[in-house]
Chains A and B, each alone.
Chain A
């Protein structure tokens, strides 16, 4: 039961920590619109918020939040939501705002308090100046009626059209939603989609037959964002090797020879070392990896060449169904400025479908999530994949002790430690506490078939995120041929968190241990709370190690969680709906009971989605645990694209050639001369 009035605290993340900018009170049940325009009851006035962003539906028996097809989406905690009940345990997040439900017991005592003085932007409930009463619920405007989450869900897009497992193509084509029919459709518009479209174009398909639906215009936009947040600026090197080339389906010339060539042209002979690095990969020399900036530039060039802009449709896909004419219907929403007479919902039809939506969500371990919920104003704990520049800015700007807990032992943790090391140039008071689950001795690395992984400083070292032979060697063979049960065993033996064996990173650790500003600790946090010290508030943690060791107490200024992104497809409303509707089989997950990605054949077909002569394929993280281990990598996506496009060629899909040696060579020449395929 909901007691009225309901109090909501609105916080805003600006340059510094999260600040409360407003407390609003909702006097009675009703639908409260959230958005940038003044006509909303709750106005969040920054460009990232859509004009009509979301709807908060308040009833006597509960509260629900519903996204209204916003550009930047609506989240509860870190899970993106379309429509979802809200119990207030986690805040609603919209752009840089967080909406917290004030616990009902406290609600009587406090009313509106301290509106932040320095908020340049506004977060106000319309009409709720100090004196005025809380907003009146909105009337029955058409807008609300259309999207009201309390209307039966069958009446809302795309449910109003997608009434059954198989929908009528004719009906869609005669509806106002219809947005065209294409032979090849790819959903996501990220790197996976790009690489797939690149293969199709080079195999002979024209731009007019391909459409990619995604919520970024630049194919690497999402990837670049993740890189930037996890401290890989353009001049930093990535993890994949020279021949992992999302801009070149042949993998030749690789990034190493291109970089060498560039250097030689400017008479810098040092560039020759890159070639030697490729010679020695992955063990004799430090593995060559390209600079992220170079990869992005190369993708820009290829995107231009294959006409990516002509193929891209900007939109957020909200549903996929089989059609009754052996095709697929893809429902999506476009941004407001592209609305047709107010209508933002569209449906496209395609014969061959490809799904590459990347990571469903970022992970927040429970204890950190709980801390964030308890102290929403304290910007102290971050996921490494979210923007946490504030940490570096704060600790670099003063000469004072600052200790940072880095959680996790993967490659991102290495990056963050490198970044903190660089920050030490400005502030020698910075110390790093590196929290790992358990110690790993030098001889305790993973073992597989007569070989063992190398361990340094309790971290397993490996050039790439899987052993190299997972991308086309005997390990790929083994996983491809294995039964699902055998696969899990192989994955368990080969997997685990690793970092790259980089000399500079090892030096940093050595230096840090020697000078005492780096310390590894093992275990998991038991308590995590804010304490006031004479140097201001700090996070206090009790670290409980295994094996009956006493808990260690740690006091720190920040926690940066580097334990990863969430691969579970049910965090994506689109995939969850698809998996439930067609009962898509899932891969077995690694490590007791977890479930992996969508089950695909070695050709990356989602067999359960086959629709007569229509075919659906998937790529990337969402297929994890399947026939190929390295799906979430450039080379993995090149492999899956090649497999699925080859599969289409054999089926006789329109304009897809068999791509024999001659065509391959002539197309390669075209690539070299930057000619349209």
Chain B
């Protein structure tokens, strides 16, 4: 990948909207249960916790993007290998876990409902469900739909 900073942000938001949100929506459908608070919709109960995690992931990513871009400047090719992307996305998730552990979501519900082993397992499964398709999208799915994306440093739209 050869992203610019704007391209990094644009691609991240694209993946958030087209992969993160729908998958989290489905995911919440299946994991919603006794955990509260929940969001009743069409007679179903959705847990909004996965959405909170997803938003945290987006936020951490958006903040780290300039850092990546800064380090990219020291690379002769001004590129960012897929392997880096892979590795740092996992790091981003670890940061999110640390933030949750540290208590950034504590204002949403009682600590006892957030910090269970079950929940951390759930966060990880949720992350995997988003990460794998997002990465596949980066590897080629995006350009099937958006032919100009790869020439636009990751930004969307026309030339």
Contacts and interface: CB of A to CB of B under 8 A. Distances in A.
Interface of A: 243, 249-254, 257, 278-285, 448-454, 462-463, 467-469, 471-477, 603, 639, 642-643, 646, 658-659, 661, 664-665, 668
B147 interface: yes
Given A469-B2, A471-B2, A282 B140 contact: no
Interface residues of B, number: 29
B30 interface: no
Nearest to A661: B145
A467 B74 CA distance: 13
A450 B3 CA distance: 17
Given A250-B144, A253-B140, A467-B76, 5 more contacts: A252-B143, A279-B81, A279-B82, A475-B2, A661-B146
A282 B81 contact: yes
A448 B76 contact: yes
Residue among A243, A278, A279, A449 with most chain B CB within 10 A? A279
A671 to B, nearest CB: 10
A451 B147 contact: no
A450 B73 contact: yes
Interface in B88-132: none
Given A639-B151, A642-B147, A451 B74 contact: yes
A257 B146 CA distance: 20
A251 B143 contact: yes
B71 to A, nearest CB: 10
B41 interface: no
B73 A468 contact: no
A280 B143 CA distance: 20
Given A469-B2, A471-B2, A639-B151, A284 B79 contact: no
Interface in B14-29: none
A668 B76 contact: no
By Cβ-Cβ distance, the 9 closest A-B pairs, closest first, are A473-B2, A252-B140, A469-B78, A472-B151, A468-B77, A661-B145, A451-B76, A468-B79, A469-B2
Contacts of B141: 252
A250 B76 contact: no
A661 B137 CA distance: 14
A198 to B, nearest CB: 12
A283 B2 CA distance: 13
B78 A468 contact: yes
B90 to A, nearest CB: 14
Contacts of B144: 250, 252, 664-665, 668
Given A450-B73, A472-B151, A473-B153, A250 B143 contact: yes
Most B C-beta atoms less than 10 A away, residue of A452, A467, A473, A668: A473
A473 B4 contact: yes
A254 B140 contact: yes
Interface in B59-84: 73-79, 81-83
B55 to A, nearest CB: 25
Given A251-B143, A471-B151, A664-B147, A284 B75 contact: no
16 contacts: A243-B150, A250-B140, A280-B83, A281-B79, A282-B79, A449-B78, A467-B78, A468-B77, A469-B77, A472-B2, A472-B151, A473-B3, A474-B2, A474-B4, A477-B153, A664-B145
Given A450-B74, A474-B2, A646-B159, A469 B147 contact: no
A659 B140 CA distance: 17
A243 to B, nearest CB: 7
**Which among B79, B139, B146, B158 has the highest number of chain A CB atoms within 10 Å?**
B79
A257 B141 CA distance: 13
Contacts of B153: 469, 472-474, 476-477
Contact of A642 (B2, B77, B159): B159
B115 to A, nearest CB: 35
A451 B81 contact: no
A665 B145 contact: yes
B86 interface: yes
A282 B82 CA distance: 10
Given A472-B150, A642-B159, A449 B73 contact: yes
A450 to B, nearest CB: 5
Contacts of A282: 77, 79, 81
Given A243-B150, A250-B147, A476-B151, A643 B76 contact: no
